Amino acid sequence: MTESLKIEWRSDGKLWLSNNGKATAVQITKCFPWSEPDRYISLRDSDEKEVALINNLNDLEQESREAIEKALAEAGFVLEITQIESLKEDFEVRTWEARTAQGKRKFQTKLDDWPQALPGGGLLIRDVAGDLFLIDDPDKLDEISRKLLWAFVA
């Protein structure tokens, strides 16, 4: 199926999918597992409806693969948490104050949204705005950060 797909960046700054003569502006959504970054990439239209699923980037021709890789780099921005300064529960939300490799951040998650365990021991956290935060190795956090974190994930 991917042989008939052509993916390209156009002059309007959008990623376009051409399939059987029909062109659609698309956005990238990376599917799990995160341990396989070149696999399972969903292309969705402006209504968030999946118009194509790429099982493996290697199945695409080079130009399409390069367009997808560029889109993944732009869409795949994940903040890496290096320290947790505070973690508090309020009405229906959990407020995190953390230091990341990209600077200090304050964000919120729903009370019923727990960090997701990743292969290799990392944790992935999605905030209420949809931003992603990664704790690559929870055991490498300082003692206070680990205590704050494990109170909510243990």
Give the pLDDT confidence score for residue 33 in this predicted structure: 67
Give the pLDDT confidence score for residue 143 in this predicted structure: 96
Q: Would you report the helix, strand and coil content of the chain in percent, each value rounded to 5? A: 20, 45, 30
Give the pLDDT confidence score for residue 120 in this predicted structure: 80
- Collect the ranges in the chain with pLDDT lower than 50: none
Residue of 31, 39, 35, 26 whose CA lies nearest to 71: 26
The values of phi and psi at residue 101, to 5°, are: -60, -20
Please state, in angstroms and rounded to a whole number, the distance separating the CA atoms of residues 15 and 7. 7
- Residue 20: left (phi > 0), alpha (psi -120 to 50), or beta? left
Give the pLDDT confidence score for residue 73 in this predicted structure: 67
